[in-house]
Structure 1
Amino acid sequence: MSYKIGKFAQLVNISIDTLRYYEKMQLIIPKRDKNNLRIYDYRDVEWIKFIKRLKATGMSIKNIQIYAKLRYQGDSTIDQRLHLLYGQKNILKTKQEKLQSNIDFLNHKIGVYQKMKNKIINKNKKI
């Protein structure tokens, strides 16, 4: 099944302007019909979903552009694409560790205040 830009934009839940921007940035290279209109198919749907996930990981547009270029070059670029994905994974792991450290800090401080609160409550019960 193929889709023109309007239907495709609805299908992947992004604006036509965003699709055109993605095309300008060479993130997606749609096929063209005999009238030079953009034509998208199920592979493009999956590709846009993947781009959206890469963006959700915080991958830069520059790195997504590099990934897209490699993807369009074919299977000989798998190692380079893996390198980009591992790099992004490492960035996320570092952020996860920092986030966990902040959660641990807050949990410790909450524990301190809970103990203080309990001491005050117990002290007031004795009075």
Structure 2
Amino acid sequence: MENSPTTSPGLRIGEVAERTGLSVHALRFYEREGILDQPVRRDSGGRRVYAEHDVEWLHVCIILRASGMPVPTIRRYTELVRHGAGNEAERLTLMREHRERVTQQIAQLTHSLDLINHKVGVYEDILAEQTDGAPQACVINAG
């Protein structure tokens, strides 16, 4: 790939890995799985050359993946974006469905955190009583 005055030289795979926190292996996997919204360019030696847009897109994909979106769903979303305007209703449906799953996960995690906070309080109280010289309490209720 030759540089023209309007074309930046691009980023090597190691630079993209460093900027995104993904491994080189993960970047290759994302490319094979069709998760990049534009084909990765290659230089004259066949090495991958990424653009800033690719890094920005990968950040979106990383956030979607971290939120629990399955790779096939990210691939479908990517395909929709790749096809351009005209499929916004399908993109919206996909995002609404995922939002519902994330909302459910948050509710489950909040419930779990409530239990954990309760247990932390119980054990802090027991330890505080022990250091005050009070008799040891016996915790009977499920640990």
The reply to whether TM is greater than 0.5 is yes
After the TM superposition, which residues 14-93 of structure 1 pair with which residues of structure 2 at under 5 Å, given as runs?
14-28=22-36, 29-93=39-103
* Partner SS state of residue 50, structure 1: helix
Name the TM-score, length of structure 1 as normaliser: 0.74
- Which ranges in structure 1 are unaligned for 5 or more consecutive residues? 115-123
Distance across 1 between alignment mates of 2:57 and 2:45:
24
Cα distance in structure 1, aligned partners of 2:18 and 2:12: 10
Pair 1:76–1:37, CA change in 2 (3 A): farther
**Any runs of at least 4 consecutive aligned residues in structure 1 with deviations exceeding 4 A, and if so which?**
102-114
Q: Deviations over 1:55-86 (max 9, x none)?
A: 11100011011111111111222221121111
Structure 2 runs not aligned, ≥5 long:
1-7, 126-134, 136-143
TM-score of the two chains, using structure 2 as the length reference: 0.67
Query: Aligned pairs, how many?
Result: 119
Q: SS of the counterpart of 1:76?
A: coil
More helix by share: 1
Distance 2:72 2:34 in 1: 11
